[in-house]
């Protein structure tokens, strides 16, 4: 299983890629799972890389039914994170330095 971590000094959120194949990924947060198309995950990774490098922009990840489950928005050094997972929504603010590890966990995209 592969882990992706987001957070700041107060909050740490860990996603697990529990299953993966060429078409879908099963992402788990706590005990709630979301199915994501592999192509959407790759697009999210590319958008995240671009926003991270430019310190501006947004990366959004949708589940298989098209609902946005993760939004990471950069505005200079500030990063707003919104996680709409299962029945709940979690939001927090962090800065770009906390996303360096996350970017490496998601993978290199060019």
Domain annotation covers residue 89: yes
Domain annotation covers residue 59: yes
Distance CA 44, CA 34 (A): 15
Q: Pairing mode, if any, of strands 56-62 and 68-75? A: antiparallel
Distance CA 77, CA 56 (A): 8
Residue 3 structure tokens: 């882990």
- Residue 72: domain span: 2-103
Domain annotation covers residue 50: yes
Domain count, the chain: 1
Domain annotation covers residue 15: yes
Per-residue pLDDT of the chain (110 residues; tens, 9 = 90+): 788 999 999 999 999 999 999 999 999 999 999 999 999 999 999 999 999 999 999 999 999 999 999 999 999 889 999 999 988 899 999 998 888 888 888 876 55
Domain annotation covers residue 66: yes
pTM, to two decimals: 0.91
Q: Are 46 and 60 in contact (CB under 8 A)?
A: no
At 37 the pLDDT is: 98
Distance CA 96, CA 99 (A): 5
Domain annotation covers residue 6: yes
């Amino acid at each position: 299983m592969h882990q992706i971590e987001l957070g700041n000094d107060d909050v740490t959120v860990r996603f697990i890629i529990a299953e993966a194949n060429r078409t879908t990924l099963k992402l788990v947060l706590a005990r709630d799972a979301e199915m994501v198309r592999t192509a959407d995950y790759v697009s999210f990774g590319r958008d995240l890389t671009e926003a991270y490098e430019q310190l501006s922009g947004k990366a959004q990840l949708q589940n298989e039914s098209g609902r946005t489950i993760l939004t990471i928005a950069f505005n200079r050094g500030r990063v707003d994170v919104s996680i709409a997972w299962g029945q709940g929504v979690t939001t927090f603010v962090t800065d770009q330095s906390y996303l360096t590890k996350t970017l490496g966990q998601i993978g290199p995209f060019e």
